[in-house]
């Protein structure tokens, strides 16, 4: 069964609806973004969500201590490190949060490089796998101006070859420009463990569209 995360939630209504419709996880963005929230805001949402739904914080490159403090205040069950691959930070977060909190490491595919960063992308995947600290990596699109929430897909064909060679032992979550119209194609091409969507199910930044949520979840499940 495909694992599905609905990310960039900013209010209780949207997070509850995602959970009711069958999402496996809801995400909250603590990085600079039009959808940015605070730990205090998220703390008013997470207690009202089913225990079966993962509550994931998307963090920039903060210190492990600050991340741990925000996790506790917000009531999160998982951390997604989104500020680039920093193995030192990954180790520190793992040590502080121990096994109680799941970790996801984001690896970015630069959609403006023409594939020139494929070797670096592959190296990051191999390093993460070798560390053995996380079993989930999220592949997201990056541009010069944004490292997430771009609404743009990356080169799935090029990425498929790299993932086949370098992501052994990792559960791959695909993000970046997904929507109900293309998520099935992404799943068929990349065979990921999970998918992640934010802007593709919005009616405006930070506000979900119930119709798009329904359509996306159905398309991902049926794929």
Contact by Cβ (8 Å): 121, 109: yes
Query: Within a 10 A sphere around the Cβ of 118, how many other Cβ atoms?
Result: 18
Active site residues: 7, 140
Supply the DSSP symbol for 36: B
- Read off φ and ψ for residue 29, nearest 5 degrees: -95, 120
Element (H, E) at 70: helix 64-74
Give the helix ranges, DSSP H, for 102-209: 118-131, 156-166, 183-190
C-alpha 35/C-alpha 123 separation (Å) is 30
What is the DSSP-derived secondary structure letter of residue 205? T
d(CA 172, CA 166): 11
220 and 2 Cβ atoms separated by less than 8 Å = yes
Separation of alpha carbons 177 and 95, rounded Å: 33
Query: Residues 6 or more apart from 113 whose CB is under 8 A from it?
Result: none
């Amino acid at each position: 069964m495909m694992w599905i995360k609905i990310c960039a939630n900013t209010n209780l209504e949207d997070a509850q609806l995602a959970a009711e419709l069958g999402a496996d996880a809801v995400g909250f963005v603590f990085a600079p973004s039009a959808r940015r929230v605070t730990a205090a805001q998220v703390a008013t949402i997470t207690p009202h969500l089913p225990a079966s739904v993962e509550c994931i914080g998307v963090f920039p490159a903060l210190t492990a201590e600050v991340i741990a403090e925000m996790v506790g205040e917000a009531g999160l069950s998982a951390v997604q490190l989104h500020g680039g691959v920093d193995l030192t930070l990954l180790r520190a977060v793992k040590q502080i949060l121990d096994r109680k909190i799941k970790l996801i490491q984001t690896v970015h595919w630069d959609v403006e490089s023409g594939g020139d960063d494929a070797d670096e992308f592959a190296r990051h995947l191999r390093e993460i796998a070798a560390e053995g600290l996380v079993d989930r990596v999220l592949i997201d699109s990056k541009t010069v101006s944004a490292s997430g929430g771009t609404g743009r897909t990356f080169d799935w064909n090029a990425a498929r070859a790299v993932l086949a060679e370098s992501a052994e032992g990792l559960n791959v979550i695909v993000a970046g420009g997904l929507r109900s119209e293309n998520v099935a194609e992404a799943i068929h091409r990349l065979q990921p463990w999970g998918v992640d969507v934010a802007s593709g199910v919005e009616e405006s930044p930070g506000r979900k569209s119930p119709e798009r949520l329904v359509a996306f979840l159905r398309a991902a499940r049926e794929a």
